[in-house]
Amino acid sequence: MHWSYDALENLRAITKGQAPPYRYIPMARAYPKGLWMVSLGGSHRCHMIRTAVMIWTPDGDARLGATAKCGAIYGSVAPYMEPPEESEECDDCLLVGTVSHVMYRFFGAGGVLLYVGYSANFGQRLRHHQTQTKWWPEVVDWKLEFFDTEMAGRAAEQSAIFREAPVHNKMGKPRHLRAVA
């Protein structure tokens, strides 16, 4: 697997003039569409870079350390302008990097609506549900609906909860259905 020479040279140019041995890279300004990375430790999973630091070794070699949008941290990565074909893209990085203002519906067996929610960071909210909710094992499918603004997404969420009465939502349900949850 070969890394993108252009991406590495651009990162070196961006950090020029900063004091060694660490040089912070302003990723949002330098790469507004994002920059991908693969760990040099052998993983074939490709992540989107959130923050990066150029690290200079005493013998003058440079290596790139980075934090991914999903939260993964790597001490030595290869940067790419596009994900390499032979790598697997991290789903969490894709969600965090591209999804905002989303209303989601979680469904159980037989299409039973379990929960309706809104989030400006669906990847983070999904991880919360997967690890913190007792009813998560019931989920067999989900659907996402995207909105241009937070206000539109939250209004749609409240309307859906009221009209569709999901099993595990408590707030926003008509009073006579709240005891069901």
pLDDT-derived band at 160 (thresholds 50, 70, 90) equals very high
Can you tell me the distance from the alpha carbon of 178 to that of 181, in angstroms, rounded to the nearest whole number? 6
How far, CA to CA in Å, does 13 sit from each of 18, 20, 66? Answer: 10, 14, 17
Domains and CATH numbers, the chain: 5-94 (no CATH), 99-180 (3.40.1440.10)
How far, CA to CA in Å, does 117 sit from each of 39, 54, 162, 169? Answer: 34, 39, 12, 8
Can you tell me the distance from the alpha carbon of 30 to that of 41, in angstroms, rounded to the nearest whole number? 25
Given a cut of 70, whether residue 24 has pLDDT beyond it is: no
Burial letters 30-43, b for 16+ CB under 10 A, else e: ebeebbbbbbeeee
Q: What would the DSSP string read from start to end of 35-78?
A: -EEEETTS--EEEEEEEEEEEE-TTS-EEEEEEETTS-EEEEEE
pLDDT digits (tens, 9 = 90+) for 35-65: 778 887 767 788 887 777 776 666 666 777 7
Can you tell me the distance from the alpha carbon of 108 to that of 176, in angstroms, rounded to the nearest whole number? 22
pLDDT digits (tens, 9 = 90+) for 167-179: 999 876 555 444 4
Treating both helix axes as pointing N-terminal to C-terminal, what angle do 122-132 and 91-98 enclose, rounded to 10 degrees? 130
What share of the chain has pLDDT > 90, as a percent? 23
Q: Which is more confidently placed, 58 or 2?
A: 58
Can you tell me the distance from the alpha carbon of 50 to that of 71, in angstroms, rounded to the nearest whole number? 8
Structure tokens at 48: 């989107």
**In whole numbers, what is the pLDDT of the chain averaged over residues?**
75
Given a cut of 90, whether residue 22 has pLDDT beyond it is: no
Kindly state the average pLDDT of the residues 99-123: 88
The pLDDT value recorded for residue 88 is 82
Which residues make beta-bridge pairs with 143? Answer: 105
